[in-house]
Structure 1
Amino acid sequence: MSRFPETIAAVGIPLAWGNLMLPGLGLGVRGRTAANAGFATAYAVAFHGVPNWRSAKGFRYGLVSASLVAAGYGVALSIPSVRKRMHEFDDRGPGVSTVEWVAVHIPIGTVYSEEMIFRATLEPLLDNTFGSRAGSVLGALTFGLWHIHPARAAGDSVPVAIAATAAGGGAFGWLRRRTGSVTAPALLHLAINVGGALAPRVARLIGTART
């Protein structure tokens, strides 16, 4: 438990950044992406994060996971009732083009930033301090709490957002532990978020083409 104070600080700092400090800056989409990436890099350096981006095992697991997610989106778009529900989803990338949103802001502002903070840095600290079982739970919960402000800003249910993102964080953490790399969870994370951004647009295009 000698690293307990450092670990508690490592938990509190990103929660304060994501839910209080970053929103308080009042930045636009591009500013938030740059600030998040800068914070994530500094946080990983300060707490000795080890992403191991070049892991071959991480690439293999990540590509398989991402492929399954892509297939899931494809199946969902092929079902008329589900496609209609997707058609009604809000655009979560206001102020920038779809290309910029999926090519810059999701990969850098979300995936890179969150994987550097949580899977590369915080979860190894939690594992070393509390053990892998408790560390996985605490890491997933902290990842869920990181999404409080985004849920409020989007008008979503905060408890649902915490539960859903904590579940996702649990899956990402499992991949990191399985492969020893953040590449696998990053690729899965990217597939989920890019698919979530593109699927409603594809659903609307299909709906327009069929009217």
Structure 2
Amino acid sequence: MTKLASVAGAAATVVWNNVILPRSGLGPTGRAVAGGAFGLAAVASARSAGYGVDELGLSVTKMPAGLRYGTAASALPIAGYVTALSVSALRKRVPPRQTSPDLAGWVLFRIPVGTVVHEELVFRSALSAILGRSWPSATARVLHATTFGLWHIRAARISEDSVAGTLLVTCAFAWLLDWLRRRSGSVVAPALLHLSVNVAGAIVVESMRRRAH
């Protein structure tokens, strides 16, 4: 794939998440299903274009390494969340957030499928492989992280968060997730970290909300 085509593909993912999916008319569960399907389609498209399972981080032989790295990485945010809940001074620093009325559906389906499967297959599998073939390593990583940051613009606006701050945080998180993917050779590693951050974070926010009431 040419450099221009790889950038066009990255731009298409940003449009998908910020424009197309939100205007689809689907509810939260429907958007999660559509997101998971989009991730699978991105991988299928890359496979049909000649990208191998190792390039895509989908090799079965690399899964044990992915599990090891992912489990180790996931322990850190979980420990941080537990500490935040346990220490009164830290609990008070957690900003109040609106949670989903369907917490079970959120943490058991919409986060795993609509966020983790969706984003890890698109970014750490398909896009990482495509950019990695088309650009020097450092440039590919910058493009990957920047695209992941832009992917979250609409979410930042909905949450009334700083767009610049969200870009900075999500770009840094993308860099870490991509490092895990490259280090382990498997998308399982970043997927486990991504899952632990989002699910544990949702549970902490809901716990804080209930304590406040």
**TM-score, reference length from structure 1:** 0.90
Code of the aligned partner of 1:40: G
Code of the aligned partner of 2:96: F
Count of residue pairs brought into register by the alignment: 204
Shift of 1:204: 4.1
CA contact (8 A) 2:43 2:126 kept: yes
Deviations 1:119-140 (A, max 9, x none): 0010121122112211111101
Code of the aligned partner of 1:156: D
Shift of 1:52: 1.5
**2:96 pairs with 1:89:** yes
Q: Which moved more, 1:17-26 or 1:168-177?
A: 17-26
Deviations 1:176-199 (A, max 9, x none): 110111000000000100111011
Aligned to 1:52: 58
Distance in structure 1 (CA, Å) of the matches to 2:181 and 2:141: 10
Distance 1:157 1:26, change over 3 A: farther
Aligned to 1:78: 86
Shift of 1:19: 1.0
CA contact (8 A) 1:102 1:197 kept: yes
Among 48, 70, 77, which residue is 1:69 paired with? 77
Distance 1:85 1:66, change over 3 A: same
- Aligned CA-pair RMSD: 1.8
Aligned to 2:114: 109
Percent identical pairs in the alignment equals: 38
CA contact (8 A) 2:99 2:206 kept: no
Code of the aligned partner of 1:38: A
CA contact (8 A) 1:53 1:181 kept: yes
Among 195, 200, 203, which residue is 2:200 paired with? 195
Deviations 1:16-60 (A, max 9, x none): 101111112132111110111111111221123624264100000
Shift of 1:84: 2.2
Distance in structure 2 (CA, Å) of the matches to 1:77 and 1:143: 29
**TM-score, reference length from structure 2:** 0.89
CA contact (8 A) 2:39 2:121 kept: yes
Aligned to 2:12: 13
Aligned to 2:188: 183
Unaligned stretches of 5+ in structure 1? Answer: none
Distance in structure 1 (CA, Å) of the matches to 2:161 and 2:21: 19
